[in-house]
Amino acid sequence: MPARRDFLQARHQGEKALSRGLVIQATRRNRDDWRVGLTASKKIGNAVCRNRARRRMRALARLHLAPLARPGVDYVLIARHDTRSCDWQDLVTGLQKAIGYLHHKLPASPTVTSR
């Protein structure tokens, strides 16, 4: 999800869930695939800290989000201050619970937005 407008749409029109080490946003769209975006702001720390947080989120998405992801949904994983240092199993458990919550909260069918 490279475009900034997609991140903003997830923030303004989507649902949000908090978990240990992550904020997860999700929004529906009119496509058959799912996408994931990663964000680690300067609040997380210097470049080394942000890169470590992004590597952990990328691995989390590849190993644990991919089997749970639904077609037609954009997911945004936002790093928190403890993303780079918290226990891996806590991240996995938090992600799984948050995804379940988001899937419950998202509308059943994609909404058509006018531009």
Domain segments of the chain as ranges: 4-104
Residue 84: closest CA among 46, 60, 47, 55: 55
If you count them, how many residues does the chain have?
Answer: 115
Query: Half-sphere exposure of 88 toward its Cβ, with a 13 Å CA cutoff?
Result: 9
Residues of the chain with pLDDT under 50: 111-115
Q: Which amino acid is at 26?
A: A
Q: Does domain 4-104 have CATH number 3.40.50.300?
A: no
Output the pLDDT for position 114.
Answer: 45
Output the pLDDT for position 67.
Answer: 94
Distance (Å, rounded) from C-alpha 6 to C-alpha 83? 23
Whether the Cβ atoms of residue 28 and residue 73 lie closer than 8 Å to each other = yes
What's the whole-model pTM score? Answer: 0.84
Give the max Cα distance, the chain.
Answer: 42
Residue 14: closest CA among 6, 1, 97: 6
Q: Which amino acid is at 107?
A: P
